[in-house]
């Protein structure tokens, strides 16, 4: 009887753990009709996309939109904008060069990542410059650090950034973990 009881407890524990992990996934229907599945944080909300964002862009943040945010967007359909590894590396280098030209410091080499479905490259960026109120308003916060990258999600190319202010790195790391496990249907 004792063994059966332990086995039943073990099975129930596994079920609870798997149910908790499934409960964290959230499906979001995009304006393109695609459904994005992301590991959702308990206090996350869908934010307003930056001006002129392409269709299919998703912005997520916590209770304070100026502490951290995720922006994920597809590259527009084009025969040469594919999600192969060489193109992802090229997209990441372009983004890094653009940030460097604006005064930010970036990693010398992009780092690879592999999620459940998404895989790609990213780099860390830091912009410690003092910003004007107009600049802060334009970008939605006084973000100083970011993970910026490109990824292949279901053979489609996406770009992303996870931005945070000083002291927000723990929340940003959770957000980046969610980006790594993003799925699009």
96-143 per-position pLDDT tens digit = 999 999 899 999 999 999 999 899 999 999 998 888 898 888 777 889
Check if the beta carbon of residue 37 is closer than 8 Å to that of residue 117. no
**Residue 3: pLDDT above 90?**
no
Residue 57 or 13, more confident: 57
Residues 69, 161: Cα–Cα separation, whole Å: 8
Q: Where are the domains of the chain?
A: 25-184
What mean pLDDT is predicted for residues 71-81?
A: 84
Residues 62, 172: Cα–Cα separation, whole Å: 10
Residues 57, 32: Cα–Cα separation, whole Å: 9
- pTM to 2 decimal places: 0.82
pLDDT band of residue 36 (cuts 50, 70, 90) is very high
Among 8-12, 36-40, 119-123, which stretch is predicted with the lowest mean pLDDT? 8-12
Q: Would you report the helix, strand and coil content of the chain in percent, each value rounded to 5? A: 30, 30, 40
**Residue 19: pLDDT above 60?**
no
**Residue 5: pLDDT above 60?**
no
pLDDT at 80: 79
pLDDT in tens, 142-175: 899 999 999 999 889 999 999 999 888 999 999 9
**Residue 22: pLDDT above 50?**
no
CATH match of 25-184 with 3.40.1000.10: yes
What mean pLDDT is predicted for residues 48-66?
A: 91
DSSP letter string, 44-109: -EE-PPPTTPPTT-EEEE-SSTTTEEEEEEEPPP-TT---SHHHHHHHHHHHHHHHHHTT-EE-SS
pLDDT at 159: 95
Residue 119 corresponds to which tokens in the numbers above?
A: 């895989």
pLDDT at 170: 93
């Amino acid at each position: 009887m004792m063994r059966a009881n332990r086995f039943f407890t073990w099975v129930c524990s596994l079920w609870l753990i798997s149910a908790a992990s499934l409960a964290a996934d959230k499906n979001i229907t995009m304006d393109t009709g695609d459904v994005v599945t992301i590991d959702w944080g308990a206090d996350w909300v869908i934010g307003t996309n930056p001006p002129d964002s392409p269709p299919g862009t998703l912005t997520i943040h916590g209770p304070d939109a100026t502490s951290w945010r995720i922006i994920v967007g597809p590259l527009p359909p084009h025969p040469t904008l594919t999600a192969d590894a060489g193109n992802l590396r090229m997209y990441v280098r372009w983004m890094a060069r653009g940030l460097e030209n604006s005064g930010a410091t970036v990693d010398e080499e992009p780092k690879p990542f592999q999620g459940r479905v998404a895989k790609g490259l990213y780099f860390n960026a830091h912009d410690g410059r003092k910003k004007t109120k107009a600049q802060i308003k334009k970008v939605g916060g006084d973000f100083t650090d970011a993970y910026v990258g490109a990824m292949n999600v279901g053979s489609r190319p996406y770009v992303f950034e996870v931005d945070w202010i000083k002291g927000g790195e723990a929340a940003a790391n959770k957000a980046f973990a969610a980006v790594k496990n993003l799925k699009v249907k």
